[in-house]
Structure formats: structure tokens, C-alpha cells
Structure 1
Amino acid sequence: MDPVTHGVIGLAISAFSGNPVALSNPVSLGCAIGAMAPDIDIIGKMWGDYVYLKHHRGITHSIPVLVGLAAIITGGLSFFYADFSSLQVFFWTFLGCLSHTLFDILNSYGAKLLMPFTKKKSKIGILMLYDPVITVLAFLLIFNKQNTPWFLLLVSSIFILYLGSRWLIKQHLMKFIEIYYSHGYKVVNVEMLPALMAFYKWDFIVNTNSHNIVGQINMMTKKITERKKFKRPDQETIELFEETNIGKYFKDFSTNYHILRANEGDHIVLKSIDLRYFLKNNFMHHATVIYDRERNIRHSFFHPYKIQRRILVSEVE
């Protein structure tokens, strides 16, 4: 989710504190700032997209750092308010920080909440990067003048039911896609992701014994749109790519990618595609490794956001 949406969610969470939702209230302000704070990892862009994407939603989204961010924000706010309860502001600011990571986990990219205990991203993948239902519920909490216990319970119940319904829809569509493709393939795995732009659509990746298939399904009509079908690479191609630094990076970066192999003159060219995000008729993230005929690596590139961008990656340890 974008920082503004995270901030709105933080403001909405502060309604549960019993205090009025207002930026003049340190609890509300702390909760809102805390809900945006984990994206401080954007400073990684100073070293380029390669570094930024490698660390995005990593350590700054983990519990130890969330506690530290909440403490720093609480300390900063204490200078601006005469009537200030440090413990109360810290508690709600930490909840704001935690909400950021939890909502990132609810979308398809995930976050490393339990880092440094595990380097793997946690993700549930049921919400879009911008979710209209969550936004409406947040605005109800922010602008309602009387957030009574019954109203808070009602909004909480709708929120829980909505998440539950999205999870059930995802499970149902995964099964539907698996059955649909099992008629012609041996299905190994199905990954389902909320569509980037359309609330009522879901993207899918089907890994079969012979192909990797990428498409989208309309959850209302069950209409399937197949975007790309790739023949699965052989094991030698996979090993060639994954032994490189960019290959290790890409394997950690993407949960589902495909490798294309081509001979271009005296070179072997491996092109990896992150199959998760398809926008403007192309995939968002790519990587390229160029070998000579003796299997020496000549060049490695990372292509973030679009294939035309090239970031040279060193293969020297």
C-alpha cells in the first residue's frame, strides 16, 4: 500500500483509543506517523533500485525495528504536547507501525515481520495495493463523530468478514484454476494474487510439468484471460541462472519466475521474468545473464519496473 493509505489506516486505528481522531491529538498523530514509518526503507533508493528492492519491506518492517520506530516517534512528539502520556502514545504508535507491516502482508508482496529470525517474507495475498473497502472503513472511523463501542464493533466485524471473504474467494479461485488446467496439464502449483488495478479480478500463475502459465480471472464471471504461456526451462538452464549473483538475488526477490534461454552469436543469454506483476502488456521485473561459449559470465543486468532499464550487477564476490 502507498504511504498515504497507510497513514489513513493509522488514523482510523487511533479511533479505538477512545480519543477523538484529530491531528491535534498526539495519539492520532503518533498512530498515523507510525503507520507510515516502516517505509523509511525508501532511503535505499539513494543507492539505486537494485538495493532498494532487495531490502524493501525487510528489516524496517520487522518487530524489533517497529518498536524502535514507535519509541523514536513518541520521543519526538513529546516535545510538542504539554499534556502527554508517553506510555499511551507509544502503545498506539506501535500499533500504527505494526498495522503497516500487517497490511503489507495482506497484499501479494509481503513483508519480513519476523526478521532477523527468518529472512522469508510473510504474505497472505488477499488485498490489492489500494483497497477501496479498507479505505471506506477507515474514513468511517475517522469522520464519524461518535465512535461508540457498538460502532467500533460493527466496523471491526465488517473488516474481519471482508478479509475472510477475500481469503475464501482466493481459495475457491485457486481450486477452480487448478481444475481448469488439470484437463491438459499436470499442475504442480497455483499462485493467486489480487489484480493490480481491478478489484473484481485476480491474477494467477500456474506451474505445470511442462509450462508456466500466467493469466487473470474475473471472480464474477469466471472468465479466464491467458496472458503468457512459457515452456518450462530445463534443469541446466535453471542451474546456470541460479548460480549467478543476479540469479540468487532474483530467486530471493521473486517467488515465481521463469527463465528464457537463447543463443546470440557467441553468447548464451538467459532472461529471467518475475511472473507476479503484469502491467501495460508486459511484466514489471526482469534480469539478464550473458555467458560466453566457455560458460564464463560476461555481463549481468537487473531490469526493475521495465525491461528498458538496465542496472549492471557485479558477479565478483
Structure 2
Amino acid sequence: MDTGTHFAMGIALGGLATLDPVIQQDPTLFHAVLTGTILGSQAPDIDTVLKLRNNAVYIRNHRGITHSIPAVILWGIAIPSLIYAFAPEVNFFHLWLWSFLAVILHVFVDIFNAYGTQAYRPFSKRWVAYGFINTFDPYIFLLHIIGIIAWSIGLHPGYTFLIIYFVIALYYVKRYLEKREMVHKIQDYYKDVENVVTSPTIRHNIWRIAITTKDSFYVGRAVNGNIVIIDEFKRKPLPDLPVMNKAIQDDNMSAFLSFSPIYRWEIDEYDHYTEVRLIDLRYRSKGRYPFVAVVTLDNDLTIISSYTGWVFSEEKLQKKLEALPT
């Protein structure tokens, strides 16, 4: 989820914690728990600072180790311990319980969007991305805001957020069933489907779809349950060519390959250089595929420049390549 929704979830868990009889009797413990749930709801995304280094490091690591099982355990211990150091009179077990729950909830909700997490590390490095909740879901965010406002005007926060989370749970079930129906339609039409990646948009009734079959990739949209295929690409493995073998050694391109499960490739030769481009097919928007990795090499196969990330126009991409020499 986005940072704002995670923050709202931290507040919501603090409200739910008022149902805990021990917390009801101790205002100091309540404030410590609220601090713990807010910090716990944000802690796994500390790897966002990697974006300050470069996109390759960010893409390879964001929602990786910081969302893993060991990291969740570490956050669950470190956050309440830090708070307890400033308020040693509070009940540590209840502080730990609610702070740990906030960390778990953060990672749990992240697995349902298209970006996903490596939540099963260290047992598996595969990305867990169920793809039926948008990274920013306006309905989920709005329900949290309604709960926070209700709390601020005097309604009981515990019962308020208990009701809200029951509604959100039903919403998750509804979105899962909608995705399952789409996948079944696709599997009925394409008999050799190997993978279907769904990516909900901010509009509730519109989904992006990327389909992998034995020989092809299909990119489409689902609107009100009706699936329309927009693009078709032949499925071709990366060629065993010197220019490609050199390009995939670049940090930007290897980061892209570690993250993207459905992509196509292009090699364009010019007078003085060759451009190798990988294009993620999951995020088609306004007629473009904005998530790419590009490497340019001279005629001696020396890398001139490279980039990976989101680019919404060719002009901006070329400017980034000029500004970011390898």
C-alpha cells in the first residue's frame, strides 16, 4: 500500500487497541501502543531511502529484505523495545503485541497489490503479488479516514475500527472473487495460459491484465468484467548475442530482470551505438509501457549509459540516459 494508507492503518490499529482491557486501564500504555502501531506501520518501508542512491538498488531491494520474515520479527522487537526505553513503566507484552501486529499488517496488505513483496524470504526470493488491490485504493483509504474522523468526534475507536476492518475484509474477498472470475475467463479462452498478472487501477471497475501463454504475451484491460486484448507480442527468450550478454550485466538491467516476470526486449542498432531495451508489460498506461530498462553500448560493446525505472515519454527517457552515464 502507499505510505498514507499505511499511516492510517497504524492509527486504526491504535484505535483497535483500546479494546484491550489492559490498555483501557493505562493511558500511558495507550499512547505508547499508538506510537508503536504508527511506527510499526511504517518501518518495513524504510528501504525507500535506497531511491536516493539509484533506481537499480531501489528496484532490486524495495519490499525485499525489509519485508522478509526475519525483518518482521526484528521490527516487532526493535520498535517496542525503543519505546519501552522511554516508558519503562508500561506493560511491555501488550506494547510488543500491538506494535508487532502493525508490522505484520503492513507486510500482509502489501502482498495483495501488483508490485508485491518478497515476504517469504529467507525460504524463497520469489515476489508475492496477488494483484487484486491497488497500491493506493481510495475505498480502503477513505474508510480509514472515516474511522479517524469518527474517533475524533467521540465515537469509540475500538468498535469503530472493528466494524471498518470487517467491511474491508469483505472488500478484499469481493476483489479476490472479481480477479478469479477474470482469470477463469482468460483460461477458458486461451488453453495454454501459463500466467495471468492482474493490476487493478485506481478506478474500481478497470484492471490491467498481462497474459503469458506458451508462445505469446497478451496485454489487455478488463472493464466491468469485459476483457479486451490490446497488444500481442511473440514470446522470445533473450537472444544469445554479445550485445545482449553484455547489457544484462549492467546493474540497471539486472535489477529489472530480478523484478519483472513479463517483459519483451528490443535491440536497435544506430551508426555509433546499439540500444538494448527491456519493457515490462504489466503496467500499460495511455498507450505506453512506462516501466523499462535501457542500456546503450558503443561499437566495442562498452556500456555508454543505462537506466531503469518509470518513464512516460521517450524524450524524458533519452534525457535520463544522457544525464546518467554508467
1:164-203 matched pairs, under 5 angstroms? 164-180=173-189, 182=190, 187-195=193-201, 197-203=202-208
Spell out the pairing of 1:9-88 with structure 2 (5 A cutoff): 9-17=9-17, 18=19, 19=23, 25-78=31-84, 80-81=86-87, 83-88=89-94
Aligned to 1:146: 156
For 1:162, the equivalent position in structure 2 comes to: 171
Would you tell me which structure has more helix in proportion to its own residues? 2
1:120 Cα offset (Å): 1.7
**Alpha-carbon spacing, 1:161–1:238, altered in 2? closer, same or farther (3 Å):** farther
* 1:59-116 deviations in Å (ceiling 9; x for gaps): 1112222232233322332355475222211111111111111111111111122323
Amino acid across the alignment from 1:224 = V
SS in 2 for 1:129: coil
User: Which gives a bigger RCO, structure 1 or 2 (Cα 8 Å, sep 6+)?
Assistant: 2
**Distance in 1 (alpha carbons) for counterparts of 2:66 and 2:227:** 39
C-alpha spacing 1:237/1:203, structure 2 compared with 1 (3 Å): farther
Contact persistence 1:63–1:98 (CA under 8 A): no
Which residue pairs with 1:253 in the alignment? Answer: 259
Offset of 1:204 from its aligned partner?
A: 0.5
Q: Equivalent residue of 1:169, what SS?
A: helix
CA distance in 1, matches of 2:109, 2:325: 32
Which residue in the other structure is 2:233 paired with?
Answer: 230
Counterparts of 1:212 and 1:62, CA distance in 2? 31
**CA deviations over 1:7-38 (Å, ceiling 9, x no partner):** 11122123332157999722122101110111
> Aligned pair in 2 of structure 1 residues 194, 83: CA closer, same or farther (>3 Å)?
same
Partners of 1:250 and 1:93 lie apart in 2 by 34
Q: Is the 8 A contact 2:63 2:116 kept in 1?
A: yes
- Change in Cα spacing, 1:287 to 1:27, as seen in structure 2 (3 Å) is same
State which of 271, 276, 289 in structure 1 corresponds to 2:277: 271
Asked if 1:91 corresponds to 2:97, the answer is: yes
Letter of the 2:183 counterpart:
M
SS of 1:282's partner is coil
> Which deviations, in whole Å up to 9, do the C-alpha atoms of 1:268-312 show, x marking residues without a partner?
532100112234542232122446778x45446223111343386
Separation in 2, partners of 1:23, 1:109: 36
- 1:213–1:101 CA distance, 2 compared to 1 (3 A): same
Amino acid at match of 2:16: F
SS of alignment partner, residue 51 of structure 2: helix
Counting aligned pairs with the same residue, the percent is: 27
Give the secondary-structure state (helix, strand or coil) at the position aligned to 2:172. helix
Q: Which amino acid aligns with 2:269?
A: N
The aligned length equals 306
Instruction: Check whether the contact 1:190–1:205 (CA below 8 A) recurs between aligned residues.
Output: yes
Q: Post-superposition shift, 1:210? A: 4.5
**Residue 14 and residue 63 in structure 1: after superposition, are their counterparts in 2 closer, same or farther (change >3 A)?**
farther
Give, in angstroms, the shift of residue 213 of structure 1. 2.4
Task: State how far apart, in whole Å, the 1-side matches of 2:291 and 2:239 are.
Answer: 23
Q: Deviations over 1:182-235 (max 9, x none)?
A: 3xx96443222212x3222110012344442222111x2616262x43333355
Contact 2:60/2:256, CA 8 A, preserved across alignment: no
Contact 1:188/1:209, CA 8 A, preserved across alignment: yes
* Structure 2 residue 209 is the aligned partner of structure 1 residue 204: yes
What is the distance in 2 between the residues matched to 1:45 and 1:239? 31
> What value does the CA root-mean-square deviation take over the aligned residues?
3.3
The one-letter amino acid paired with 1:108 is A
1:126 matches 2:132: yes
Counterpart CA distance in 2 for 1:257 and 1:42 is 24
Pair 1:121–1:190, CA change in 2 (3 A): closer
What TM-score does the superposition give when structure 2 sets the normalisation length?
0.80
Describe the SS at the equivalent of 1:68: helix
